[in-house]
Structure 1
Amino acid sequence: VPASPTSGARAPVVRGWADVRALTAGAGMRRVFVKLAHGSSASGVLAVETTGAGRVRATTSVERDPAGRLFNSLRVRRYTSEREVAAIVDALAPDGLHVERWLPKAVQDGRAADLRVVVIDGRATHAVLRTSRSPLTNLHLGGARGDLDAARAAITAAGGRWTDALEVCERAAAAFPGTRCVGVDLLPASGWRRFAVGEVNAFGDLLPRLTGLPGGGAEGLDTYAAQVAALFPRTPHLTGTTRTTGTSTA
């Protein structure tokens, strides 16, 4: 996982931008992600860069209006004023913040790339490659589905194995034994040889029209059908069946 000055039992509480500045400077981190401790769909996430001269830039979907109110927007924007970045972080801090190192990702066709891997009952069943020109690869924020086969080929060419990448996701899911389905954000490092787990999402299965990986046990099934099949393994598929009522069928 990415290094974080806010992880662990003795991690300090982040009360605002001043704490973020101090913690990242102390850890030697010039590029970090600042995230809500509990959130989804990149809400309240900022990709923050600090130059050697101390200038700050943040990329985020957070919109701040003239009254200082925050809104989650579908348009990713950049803030280049430290005063604006500080105001956003200060407003988010009461909900709890997590800070982690911003890891350089692998690239496909000039776009940053990562993977969302769905793990059901401990087994990686679905995967999608997400690419973006911004640090936020979420598909609803302008990210696009990339070429998964090309990514697998890049991993092999770098001397790695696709199965190892899936096993990383399965080990991450095993840390949450009470959750039967999770969506793991797997971050391939530059060069496609190493991987880190960015997040484990409780609601990471919204992947329309995506069917299961070959050999993953959910071939031909989308993420929801795969979960139903895992819950009721002996139940036949009901799609297209009819029931006789005596006078009509439905």
Structure 2
Amino acid sequence: MTAPGTAGFAVVVTPGDRRAVLFAEACRSCGLPEPRIVPWTDVLRGGDLGFGLGFGSGELVRIDSPGEDAEADALLRGPGDPTRVGGGARWYRTFTAALGRIGAAASAAGARIAGDIDDIAVMFDKRPSHARMRAAGVPVPPALPGVRDYASLRDAMADAGERRVFVKPAHGSSASGVVALQTAPGGRIRAITSAATTPDGLRNSLRVRTYLGEPEIASLIDALAPDGLHVERWVPKASIGGRTFDLRVVVIGGEPTHAVVRTSRHPMTNLHLGGTRGDLEAVRRALGADGWDEAMDVCARAAACFPGSPMVGVDLLVLNRMRGFAVCEVNAFGDLLPRLTGLPGGAAEGVDTYTAQVRAVLAESGAHA
């Protein structure tokens, strides 16, 4: 990534979104001009980005998340309740087409993209993302291929000898539609998910719930299947303080710079689903120096699978009894961690994820913040 010219940054984001606010603060703190906001809604309507919205020569274009804007969601998935689960395949087609327009417009205007749009596209499809990391030797949970519906899921589980799996929408985020499925002898089955079954279809809920009836679980999986599924072994996670946990690690310029512990009493550790931030130092002590170094190395190797991306958010599973690691997700927009400062002794010590990224741009150009 090269430094922005006199035009500074243009950020494709939802105006007023917390990401836009935090990135603007980072630019100001580093002595850069206020970034220019390009609304995702304008991009998704197909505006003439090269001229009508005016990417400028020398401008560095940062692509950020569309966020939770209802208008952008309707343009991506089609009209409907923003809380609905599903529509991921249409979302992905619309999103990747928009990425292509941004890239073409930036090139035509002499602007530059901060990152690689093909990397972003792969990270938003769990199937090639998982396959890319696996091929590179990054530890990932084994995947069960060929799952098209509930019946093929049960067949795949039987063939692989798996009783516990995570069923994930191929293009989902924020645990939307994710199902932790467990079977047991005697035909017992249990599904844990934040997807709520309503008369109007599946809806995202802030409450994780458990389903025990096979007809209801089969209906749930079959409702998710048309958008594509990615299924992985449910690997046992380590616990600390009586709660299971994983790590979100932000890798900037190839270096793990920020880490947060996410703990929970249920399989989903997402903070918006009741997960809480845990004690990072306690995790580091439990892993020991060698274990922590190995964890960070795994995250760096995962990020290296996306070499055009200056920032990758890595979701790292610490396996039961602190014995090993596995990467369960990578995130193109995984840097929204307000108030979290960088790891002690690292390049981002004392600053947030956005300031660290701006500083990295300046350092690459030989400038100084």
**SS class of match (2:340):** coil
Distance 1:77 1:182 in 2: 30
For residues 173-194 of structure 1, give each alpha carbon's deviation from its aligned partner in whole angstroms, at most 9, with x where no partner exists: 1011122111111111111131
CA distance, structure 2, for counterparts of residue 5 and residue 117 of structure 1: 26
1:1-250 matched pairs, under 5 angstroms: 1-6=140-145, 12=146, 14-67=147-200, 69-156=201-288, 160-233=290-363, 234=366, 236-237=368-369
Give TM-score scaled by structure 2 length: 0.60
SS in structure 2 of the partner of residue 170 of structure 1: helix
Unaligned runs of 5+ in 2: 1-139
Letter in 2 for 1:126: H
Q: CA deviation at 1:235?
A: 5.1
In the alignment, the residues of structure 2 paired with residue 19 and residue 63 of structure 1 have an alpha-carbon distance, to the nearest angstrom, of 23
| Cα distance between partner residues in 2 of 1:136 and 1:145 | 13
SS at match of 1:232: helix
Deviation at 1:124, TM superposition (A): 0.2
How much has 1:53 moved relative to structure 2? 1.5
Letter in 1 for 2:312: V
Q: CA deviation at 1:208?
A: 1.1
Contact 1:31–1:101 (CA under 8 A) maintained in structure 2: yes
- 8 Å contact 1:33–1:47 — kept in the other structure? yes
The alignment partner of 2:222 has SS state of: helix
Report deviation, 1:216. 2.1
* One-letter amino acid matched to 1:178: G
User: Following TM superposition, where does structure 1 have runs of at least 4 consecutive aligned residues deviating by more than 6 angstroms?
Assistant: none
Separation in structure 2 between the aligned mates of residue 170 and residue 215 of structure 1, nearest angstrom? 17
Q: CA deviation at 1:91?
A: 1.0
Question: 1:87: Cα distance to partner?
Answer: 1.0
Alpha-carbon offset, residue 56 of structure 1: 1.2
Bigger helix fraction: 2
Following superposition, the deviation at residue 228 of structure 1 comes to: 1.4
State the partner residue of 2:55: none
CA-atom RMSD in angstroms: 1.3
- Alpha-carbon distance between aligned partners in 2 of 1:76 and 1:164, rounded to the nearest angstrom: 32
Greater shift, 132-141 or 75-84, is seen at 75-84
Aligned partners of 2:192 and 2:301: how far apart in 1? Answer: 30
Distance 2:293 2:208 in 1: 33
Partner amino acid, structure 2, of 1:136: M
SS at match of 1:15: coil
Give the superposition deviation at 1:160.
Answer: 3.9
Is contact 1:57–1:81 with CA below 8 Å preserved after alignment?
yes
Distance in structure 1 (CA, Å) of the matches to 2:232 and 2:290: 25
TM-score by length of 1: 0.88
Per the alignment, residue 116 of structure 2 pairs with none
Matched AA of 2:182: E
Do the aligned residues in 2 keep the contact of 1:160 with 1:193 (CA within 8 Å)?
no
Structure 1 letter corresponding to 2:141: P
Aligned to 1:248: none
Considering fraction of residues, name the structure with more strand.
1
Identity of aligned residues (%): 62
